[in-house]
Every structure is written in structure tokens, then in C-alpha cells.
Amino acid sequence: MSESVRTERKGAVQVVTLDRPHVRNAYDAATMEELSAVLKAADADPEVRAIVLTGAGTVFCAGLDLKAFAKGDSVTGLVWFFHKGVSTPVIAALNGSALAGGFELMMACDLVVAADHAMLGMTEVQRGLFAGGGGTVLPARVPMAVALELGLTGDPVTAARAYEIGLVNRVLPADQVLPEALALAERIAANGPLGVAMTKKLMRQSRWPDRAEAASVFGSADAREGARAFAERRPPTWTGT
């Protein structure tokens, strides 16, 4: 593990921390490669039921490391996560501002807990770029006029405003952000993993399940265990099968 990304397991939750506070957790090619590896490994681990993504210091992520980009650094290392994501639920714990690619990294997560001092914005146009990591799908999340204002001006909004328009789930003092994100992650991790993964997949794609998808969950051992546990008034024991 390099100095760019730290990981810590807390029960069934994998905590992933961007650790480049000297550059406001901006990601260069090496950091993107490492973060990608960490997220893919966590997603492939059946013991991990939820992921919390946060940053070191007082900023969540300032996006692409522009100094590295100016020297020819690759910018594609996280495209897969922005566009496709992982099946495991990911909660962004915004310890501070999420700007440009950091905003898009936040958008690729499923739930967002933000510090009350955080600023959120797609600032790419102010640097002659555009939000190529998924920011252009923002109209699927907020009204078109709001999305266009964020995208075309590049002006950040407060965490409170982001909550008003539905971009974040919680706004809290900074010292409460990670505990709240962990609590949400643990609540998700307590549920049936097959049902959680299918719910995320279908909601992200805004569609009904096909017959095979429905059968894979409703015909699973976990579905039977959930019913038995309910009848026996006990917590279920999930196997992910």
C-alpha cells in the first residue's frame, strides 16, 4: 500500500481514505490506479458488505491533480468507477469540499454524508475542461436548470444547498461525518447482501428486474433465511447465497 490510499476494516465495512492532504486529496494516475484496485478488491470480498470513502485532512477531494495532468499524467484511471461503479454500496463521507473530479467521485457513491463546511461543485469549466467523469449525468439527479447552473458556471454550492437539491443525505458537523457514514454502512451491511446488490443495480439503472434476476434473489438461501428469521423472531444469518 502506498501513501495515497489507506484502508481499514471495521466489521463488514471497508473504510477507504484518500491520503494526499498536501494536494487536497487530488488524484494523480498512481492514486487512481491504487484507488481502483482497493475498490475492486473490496467489491470482490464477500465479507465486505459496504464501503465508506473519505479523505484525510479537511478536504474530501479536489479532483484531478492538475499539476500531474499538465505533465501528461493519465486521466482515465477512475472512469470505470464513475460510469459503472461496484455492486457493493459505497457511502461518501465528505470530511470537506468535493470539487471537480472530487464531486464526480462523490456522485459515483450511493449515499453522501457531508460536513457542514463542505463546498460541492463541478469546477472543470473554470479550467477549460468539462466534467467527463460523470458530471454530465447530473440532470438525472437534480432539475435540469440546477444541473446546468452547476455545470456551466463551475460555482460550488454549500453542503446545505446540496442537501436541499437532493445531492447529499446528511449534513453534519465535521466530527460527526465519519461516525454517521459508518452507522449508515453498518445498517446496510446488516441486510441481505443479494437483495442489497440487486436493489442498487436496478435503482441505478432505473428498471424492473428480468426473470433471472428476480429468481436469483427470491430463490436464494438468503431469502429463505430471511423468512425463517422473521418467523422465529431472530436476526438472520446471511450467507450471500
CB 43 within 8 A of CB 58: no
Domains delineated in the chain:
5-189 (3.90.226.10), 193-231 (no CATH)
- The percentage of residues in the chain with a pLDDT greater than 70, rounded to a whole number, is 99
Please state, in angstroms and rounded to a whole number, the distance separating the CA atoms of residues 124 and 131: 6
Please state, in angstroms and rounded to a whole number, the distance separating the CA atoms of residues 112 and 100: 16
What is the mean pLDDT of the segment spanning 192-221?
A: 97
| pLDDT surpassing 60 at residue 1 | no
What is the mean pLDDT of the segment spanning 81-107?
A: 96
Tell me the pLDDT tens digit for each residue of 209-219: 999 999 999 99
Asked about 124 being catalytic, the answer comes back as yes
Contacts of residues 10-13 at CB distance under 8 Å and 24 or more positions apart, as own/partner, are 10/182, 11/186, 11/189, 12/47, 12/48, 12/49, 12/50, 12/186, 12/189, 13/48, 13/49, 13/50, 13/51, 13/52, 13/182, 13/185, 13/186, 13/189
Which residue is catalytic, options 8, 104, 164, 225? 104
pLDDT band at 70 (very low <50, low <70, confident <90, very high): confident
Instruction: Tally DSSP H helices, then E strands, for the chain.
Output: 10, 10
Tell me the pLDDT tens digit for each residue of 43-55: 999 999 999 999 9
pLDDT band at 66 (very low <50, low <70, confident <90, very high): confident
pLDDT band at 2 (very low <50, low <70, confident <90, very high): low
| Residue 73, pLDDT score | 82
What is the mean pLDDT of the segment spanning 33-42?
A: 96
**5-10 vs 13-18, strand pairing mode:** antiparallel
Average pLDDT score, the chain: 95
Which of 1-15, 17-31, 209-223, 227-241 bottoms out in mean pLDDT, i.e. has the lowest? 1-15
Asked about 34 being catalytic, the answer comes back as no
Which residue is catalytic, options 8, 34, 47, 124? 124
Tell me the pLDDT tens digit for each residue of 119-172: 999 999 999 999 988 899 999 999 999 999 999 999 999 999 999 999 999 999
**b/e burial code for range 40-78 (CB count within 10 A of at least 16 → b):** eebbeeeebbbbbbbbbeebbbbbbbbebbeeebebebb
For the entire predicted model, the pTM comes to 0.95
Q: SS3 breakdown of the chain: % helix, strand, coil, rounded to 5?
A: 45, 20, 35
| pLDDT surpassing 80 at residue 42 | yes
| Residue 10, pLDDT score | 97
Intra-chain end-to-end CA distance of the chain, in Å: 31
| pLDDT surpassing 80 at residue 7 | yes
| Residue 160, pLDDT score | 98
